[in-house]
Amino acid sequence: MAELLQKQRKTKSKPRRGNGSKNSRSIQELDSVTVRFAGDSGDGMQLAGSQFTQTAAIIGNDVATLPDFPAEIRAPAGSLPGVSAFQVHFSDHDIHTAGDCADVLVAMNPAALKMHIGDLEGDGILIVNTDGFSENNLRKAGCSTNPLEDGSLESYRCFEVPVTKLTHEALQDLSLTKKEKDRCKNFFALGLTLWMFDRTLDSTLRWIDQKFTAMPEMAEANRRALKAGYFFGDTTEAFASIHYRVAEATLPKGLYRQVTGNQAMAMGLAVGAHLAKKQLFYASYPITPASDILHEMARYKNYNVATFQAEDEIAAIGAAIGASFGGHLGVTASSGPGIALKTEAINLAVMVELPVVIIDVQRGGPSTGLPTKTEQGDLLQAIHGRNSESPVAVLAPATPGECFEYAITALRLAVKYMTPVFLLSDGSLANGAEPWRIPSFDDLPKFDCHHLVDAKDFQPYRRDKTTLARPWVLPGTPGLEHTIGGLEKEDVTGAVSYDPRNHEAMCRLRAQKIAGMVQDIPDVALFGANSGKVLVVGWGSTYGAITTAVEKQQAAGKSVSSMHLRYLNPLPANTGSLLKNFEKVLVPELNLGQLRSILRDQYLVDAVGLNKVRGQPLTVAEVTQAIEGLL
């Protein structure tokens, strides 16, 4: 049975909403659908996907997205490496992932079809742009026969649409070039898809108006293409069988918007600075997939944010440390390769005990690896990847929206404990979007930054008794002149010291300070019963797949719980005791077993891994299979 048909709960015949469509046809109700738009990287698939998502979100569906684009800005048109895709999962209930497989695939050319057909449900809906299937494109995609003619697509519900031709017809009398008209075909595809799911065009029309204010003719062309696609669905008999509706989800009350992880991160940093009544200095060097945070921050100049695009990764963290030395909130962000370059400077911040937040938006590695693909390969790099004994705090948000909350937490902890704090995001959190309930500013906890000004008995390394933090003294403060640096410090005085016992004492003190942060870290909560057969432990962006899989097991009455760690160093105080309440511990990760190593090491627990490093998110099916293997 097809997944899509299983989801069909009832078929109704009733007057339809929408842009004046005829009301005689029936609309089938579904509880959730996954649509994937795939085309050439110049085809505007990311735009079509994100507009579709915005409309779904505004209607009230829960949504989760997975953009998947090539590392090349414009790989040769029509080629396999040039394929860009955007997947959106939307539903009438709470969902946690962008979906394992697609129910609907929109393929603009043979390369897109070839790359993504494997992820289409057995009898899913396939919409192809027949105009993209030229001999040339077939050759570029390495197709010896035309898949539209060789019978290979028979199991799917395939709809062949001459998207390019129809777009051109709709734009006939506009004085745009052929190339410009070609570019509007994504709006045709979007319009058709919006019709399929009985959506209105309002949100996209508004967006076109805003975006193309300066180019009225392009605005008109895109509006027409969008409407042409919509009406094509409405008037073409064949499409009557694929007209669906997904009702709104019951999300917690409140005001919502859509956010990606990178947007949420940027907002969290700005809000954190506001809560601390501090200026934030964001220094970074452009790198995928972290650059969007810099782009966002650069727009926040009236929010006490200064941005600095440095000459390299090292300069970026150097400048962040310099800003923190001066009493501002120094933040830098990068991805794995850039973090590798920053390591020596992170150690300087460990030694001089200054607050700095380091964001690592992880991607596939090692080396340049898979720049645009997701991975969780940098956990051990963040915790251990520096010379000598170099403890830092490591936090990892689990959803795009959580990036906001943990950006604030990272700033708060960095300042309170005078330490570098790592924030681990990844490609799928960074670019993935979800509806986000806008928090009330008054509910966000303020935090104080103290700067010592009293010269009496001043010692640069005299520590606070509870946090073990040293004082944050601002240059410019009379009477407290002193020099800090990377050489080992004498306890209390901060003078350079080569004394063997002092060095050991200081190494232990620095470790103790980070370990002691556990007093500020909430206990980890379990999803499910507090003991049982299988505990699934995860961190970061695998939250959605793990939670969905565990939900299904629990619904089937299985003894399965999950624990999702947002604090990786130090780990929450109750982690060890909870692990011991379960017969089996499963640790799914997008790496070869990094958290598993830590859990085994710290708690002597015989954890089993589910490990995947393909540049793609974990799927619910993969987690389900691994759990079932342990039951």
Q: Which 519-578 residues touch other proteins, going by CB under 8 A?
A: none
Distance between CA atoms of residues 620 and 349, nearest Å: 40
Footprint on residues 567-626 left by other proteins (CB under 8 A): none
Asked if 91 touches other proteins (CB under 8 A), the answer is no
Least gap, CB of 180 to other proteins (angstroms): 26
> 122, 87, 109, 114: which is closest to 4 by C-alpha?
122
172's CB contacts (< 8 A; 6+ apart) are none
Cβ(294)–Cβ(282) under 8 Å?
A: yes
Give 364's DSSP letter: B
Least gap, CB of 612 to other proteins (angstroms): 33
Asked if 487 touches other proteins (CB under 8 A), the answer is yes
Asked if 279 touches other proteins (CB under 8 A), the answer is yes
Asked if 282 touches other proteins (CB under 8 A), the answer is no
Asked if 341 touches other proteins (CB under 8 A), the answer is no
Asked if 337 touches other proteins (CB under 8 A), the answer is no
Least gap, CB of 622 to other proteins (angstroms): 31
Asked if 441 touches other proteins (CB under 8 A), the answer is yes
Of residues 347 and 548, the one with the C-beta less far from other proteins: 347
Going by their DSSP bridges, the two strands 420-426 and 393-395 should be labelled as parallel
Least gap, CB of 475 to other proteins (angstroms): 4
Footprint on residues 460-479 left by other proteins (CB under 8 A): 475-479
Out of 315, 506, 514, 536, point to the residue binding other proteins (CB under 8 A).
315
By CB under 8 A, how many residues form the interface with other proteins?
73
Instruction: Tell me, letter by letter, the H, E, C secondary structure of 116-185.
Output: HHHHEEEEEEEEEEHHHCCHHHHHHCCCCCCCCCCCCCCCCEEEEECHHHHHHHHCCCCCCCHHHHHCCH
Binding part of the chain for other proteins, among 9-17, 225-233, 275-283, 533-541 by CB under 8 A, reads 275-283
94's CB contacts (< 8 A; 6+ apart) are 62, 249, 250, 251
Site string for other proteins, 384-413 (x = CB under 8 A): ------------------------------
Q: Long-range contacts of range 231-240, CB-CB < 8 Å, 24 or more positions apart?
A: 231/191, 231/195, 232/161, 232/166, 232/188, 232/191, 232/192, 232/195, 233/191, 233/192, 233/195, 233/196, 234/21, 234/22, 234/195, 238/159, 239/159, 239/195, 239/196, 240/25, 240/26
Cβ(281)–Cβ(308) under 8 Å?
A: yes
Of residues 107 and 411, the one with the C-beta less far from other proteins: 411
Asked if 90 touches other proteins (CB under 8 A), the answer is no
Strand-pair partners of 308 = 283
Asked if 312 touches other proteins (CB under 8 A), the answer is yes
Other beta carbons less than 10 A from residue 174's beta carbon: 15
Binding part of the chain for other proteins, among 63-71, 268-276, 405-413, 515-523 by CB under 8 A, reads 268-276
Other beta carbons less than 10 A from residue 94's beta carbon: 13
Asked if 203 touches other proteins (CB under 8 A), the answer is yes
Asked if 318 touches other proteins (CB under 8 A), the answer is yes
Out of 254, 366, 522, 629, point to the residue binding other proteins (CB under 8 A).
254
Distance between CA atoms of residues 533 and 595, nearest Å: 20
Out of 216, 485, 522, 629, point to the residue binding other proteins (CB under 8 A).
485
Asked if 58 touches other proteins (CB under 8 A), the answer is yes
Looking at this protein, which amino acid is placed at residue 390? S
Binding part of the chain for other proteins, among 95-103, 178-186, 251-259, 500-508 by CB under 8 A, reads 251-259
Asked if 301 touches other proteins (CB under 8 A), the answer is yes
Out of 5, 238, 492, 496, point to the residue binding other proteins (CB under 8 A).
496
SS3 571: coil
Out of 25, 93, 165, 257, point to the residue binding other proteins (CB under 8 A).
257
Least gap, CB of 349 to other proteins (angstroms): 10
- For CA atoms 303, 308, 309, 315, give the dihedral sign: negative
Order of strands, sheet of 567-569, starting from the edge strand that comes earlier in the sequence:
305-309, 280-284, 329-334, 356-362, 420-426, 393-395, 567-569
Least gap, CB of 439 to other proteins (angstroms): 7
Of residues 305 and 550, the one with the C-beta less far from other proteins: 305
Asked if 327 touches other proteins (CB under 8 A), the answer is yes
Least gap, CB of 161 to other proteins (angstroms): 29
Asked if 209 touches other proteins (CB under 8 A), the answer is no
Strand-pair partners of 10 = 29
Asked if 150 touches other proteins (CB under 8 A), the answer is no
> 464, 416, 429, 413: which is closest to 567 by C-alpha?
413
**Residue 530 backbone phi and psi in degrees, to 5:** -80, -5
Asked if 255 touches other proteins (CB under 8 A), the answer is yes
Binding part of the chain for other proteins, among 45-53, 102-110, 144-152, 321-329 by CB under 8 A, reads 321-329
Q: What's the token pair of residue 546?
A: 């793990």
Least gap, CB of 529 to other proteins (angstroms): 30
Q: What's the token pair of residue 21?
A: 């469509």
Of residues 131 and 434, the one with the C-beta less far from other proteins: 434
